[in-house]
Amino acid sequence: MANIVPFIRPVAIQEQEAIIQVVLNSLESEHSRRAYERSLREFLLWHSAQGAPALSKAIIQSYFAELRAGRLSPSSINQRLAAIRKLVSEAADNGALDLAVANSIKNIRGARQEARRAGNWLTKRQAQQLLDSIDIGTLKGFTRSSHPRHAARLWIETN
């Protein structure tokens, strides 16, 4: 499509709208469309403020660094990068961006997401007390502690 420009010069508002629309048309989910549109508008605004340099891996990494410095959560950063990857993919598919440049941008790793435990967790001591409280000398206690479903509920990591 001729609507995508290679980002070598400042992008006019009409061209930004065309660029965004090409990406949004490739998405099925309304929620994804809304999130990608917001992310692409933010990126294109940032890109224009940088003087609209040619799109490259270094430019996207610079944007990534600014997102991290802005104290965004890893999931928010990764969502924005996903929108940019989709933009780059569409640009390459439509001949507006060199395939090698597009591939280098698509290979940028996202922000690392640390796992977080949700809810209230027992300490090892509390878990051991819970396990010790089961009276396996009774039929009820033996059945509950030996059934795989109940055993899975009581399982704790000992490392």
**Mind listing the pLDDT tens digit for each residue in 10-56?**
455 667 788 888 899 989 999 999 999 999 999 988 988 888 888 89
Query: Over the chain, what is the mean pLDDT?
Result: 77
Going by C-alpha positions, the residue among 88, 80, 11, 6 that lies closest to residue 51 is 11
User: With DSSP H G I counted as helix, E B as strand and the rest as coil, what are the percentages for the chain, rounded to 5?
Assistant: 60, 0, 40
pLDDT at 144 over 60: no
Neighbours of 74 (CB within 10 A): 14
What pLDDT was estimated at residue 72?
A: 85
User: Which of residues 12 and 152 earns the better pLDDT score?
Assistant: 12
pLDDT at 146 over 60: no
The residues spanned by each domain of the chain are 13-106, 124-154
Tell me the whole-structure pTM to 2 decimals: 0.64
| Multiple choice CATH, 13-106, 1.10.155, 1.10.3470, 1.10.150, 1.10.405 | 1.10.150
pLDDT at 5 over 70: no
User: Which of residues 87 and 116 earns the better pLDDT score?
Assistant: 87
